[in-house]
Amino acid sequence: SAELWNSAVRVLDTNWAGDHMVPSRRLYPHQWSWDAAFIAIGLAYVNPTRAWRDLRSLFEAQWPDGRVPHIVFDPATAEADYFPGPAFWDVPAYGNRPARGSTGIVQPPMHAIAAWEVYRHAAAHGAACAQEARTELEWLYPRLVAQQRYLTTGRNLGRAGLASIVHPWESGLDNSPAWDEAMANVPADLALLSRYRRRDLDVSDAAHRPTDLDYSRYVGLVVSYRAEGYSDAGLLDRHAFAVECPAFNSILASAELALAQIAGELGLSAEAAGHRDRAGQITAAIIRRLWNERTGTFHARDVHTGKLTPANCVSGLLPLMLPDLPADLVRAVMDEMRSERFGLPVPSYDRTAPDFDTMRYWRGPVWINVNWLIRRGLLMHGFRDEAEDLRTAMVRLVHRNGHFEYFHPTSGEGLGAPTFSWTAALSLDLLA
C-alpha cells in the first residue's frame, strides 16, 4: 500500500546519517554491516545513490586482511551512546583509518547479494543510475572477493571448508538458543560487566534484550579476541567460542553465487566459474557438517566439541537459500518449516520449545530479514504459493504494527527499536 511505502521511505530518510544509514537512531547509532546490505536492497527502489554510498562507507572500513567489520563507528557519536563502543573494542589503526574506527568481528556476508540486487534495479532509474551502478559494482567486486577470502581461509577454523563465527554477534542472531551449549563453556564475568553501563537498556525494554549473563559472556569474548589484536592465528586454542552456523554459511555460499553473476556482468568469466565452484564446495560442506538426519534439519556445530546443537532455530532452515540443496533435504526443511515448530512468518526459534520466549530478541520473535531470506529460498525451489503467502504476511505484519525491529510471534506486537531501517527497506522490496 502507498501508506506503508511512504512510511518506509520516511524511516529511511530519518535514519540517513550523511554517508551511511543507522539501523535505528537511539539503539544503534553507528553503521552495522549486514544491516547495510538489507538496507541497500530497499534503498535501490527509492535512492540507489544512497544504497551505493552506504555500501561504500562500509567497505572503506574493510581491514587489510579482508574482514568487513560488524560495526563502523561514527566518530560524531559519543562513546557513552553505545556499549561496547570504540574505546572498548580498541582496534588498531590500519590503512588510512585511525585506531578505534570499527569493531574487530564480522557479520554474515550479505553484501554481494545486496550489490547484485541494487545493480539489477538501478537500470530502471535511467542511464545516469546505470552508469553509477556499473562504477560502484566495479569498485566493490575486488573488495567483496577479499571479504569472502577472509571468511573461507582465516575463519576456516574447523578445517572443513566452512567459516566459523567466534562471537554470537557475528551471526547477527545474537542470543539465539543455537549458541546456548557453546556459550555455557564461555566464562561469564559479571564483575567485568558491572564496570560498564549497558546503554541498550537505557533506550529499550530489558525484556526484549539479551540478559546480563549473555552480555557478560559477549564482553568476555571481545576481551579474548582483542588480546591478540583480533588475530585468527591459533585462535581455536585460546578462544572459548567457535561455531559453524548454517545461516552464516548459507549466506556465504549465496554470496559466491552473487559474485559469479557480478563477475559475469563485468566480463570475468574465469572468475565467475571459480565463484560457482566455491559455492558448490560450501554447500557440500554445510550438508556434510551441519545436517542432522534424525531431526531433519540443519544445526550449528560447536567446533570445540564437534557437537551439533539440539536447538531448532530459524538458522537451520536457511540452507533453503541454496539452489543445489538436494531435493530430499529441501523436502525435509519444508516439512520442518510447515510443522507446529515454525509456520509462516517464521519465528526465530521453535514455538514448542519450553524456553521459547515471545519477547526476547532471537529467542522467539519474528524478524523481517530472515523471513526475507526464507522467501528467497521458497522462490528458488519453486514454492510460489508459500512465497506469496509469506510476502503477504510480512507486509501485513509491518503495516499493522509499524517498522519495528522484530515482532511478537503470536500477537504481532512490535518489539525492540520502533523505526528500524532494515524492516523499512525490506518492506519496500516486498511492495515493489
- Residue pair 363/348 in contact (Cβ under 8 Å)? The answer is yes
Closest to ligand DGY by CB, 70 or 289:
70
Closest to ligand DGY by CB, 45 or 82:
82
Cis peptide before 345, with omega less than 30 degrees from 0? Answer: yes
Site for ligand DGY in 321-380 (CB under 6 A): none
Q: Considering CB under 6 A, how many residues would be counted as binding ligand DGY?
A: 4
The residue at minimum Cβ distance from ligand DGY is 169
SS3 381: coil
- Residue pair 214/176 in contact (Cβ under 8 Å)? The answer is no
- The Cα–Cα gap between 161 and 178 comes to 20
Closest to ligand DGY by CB, 23 or 316:
23
Closest to ligand DGY by CB, 168 or 414:
168
With vertex at residue 224, the alpha carbon angle to CA 219 and CA 226, rounded to the nearest 5 degrees, is: 90
How far apart are CB 430 and ligand DGY at their closest, in Å?
A: 23
How far apart are CB 419 and ligand DGY at their closest, in Å?
A: 16
How far apart are CB 8 and ligand DGY at their closest, in Å?
A: 22
Site for ligand DGY in 195-254 (CB under 6 A): 200
How far apart are CB 1 and ligand DGY at their closest, in Å?
A: 30
Could you tell me which residues come within 8 angstroms of residue 120 by beta carbon, excluding any fewer than 6 positions away?
none
In 91-226, the DSSP E strands lie at none
Selection from 168, 163, 161 nearest residue 182 by Cα: 168
SS3 28: strand
Rg (CA), the chain: 20
- The Cα–Cα gap between 116 and 141 comes to 10
How far apart are CB 33 and ligand DGY at their closest, in Å?
A: 9
- Residue pair 386/328 in contact (Cβ under 8 Å)? The answer is no
Site for ligand DGY in 65-84 (CB under 6 A): 70
Closest to ligand DGY by CB, 72 or 286:
72
- The Cα–Cα gap between 230 and 224 comes to 9
From the candidates 35, 174, 336, 357, give the one annotated as an active-site residue: 174
How far apart are CB 71 and ligand DGY at their closest, in Å?
A: 6
Q: Which helix (H) or strand (E) holds 246?
A: helix 246-265
Under the binding rule (CB under 6 A), the answer on residue 169 touching ligand DGY is yes
Contact characters 182-201, ligand DGY, x per CB under 6 A:
------------------x-
From the candidates 117, 350, 405, 429, give the one annotated as an active-site residue: 405
Closest to ligand DGY by CB, 24 or 297:
24
Phi, psi of 271 (to 5 degrees): -60, -40
Question: Is position 405 annotated as part of the catalytic site?
Answer: yes
SS3 21: strand
Cell 526484549 belongs to residue: 208
Among 174, 232, 336, 429, binds ligand DGY (CB under 6 A): 174
List contacts with ligand DGY (CB under 6 A). Answer: 70, 169, 174, 200
By annotation, the residues acting in catalysis are 174, 405
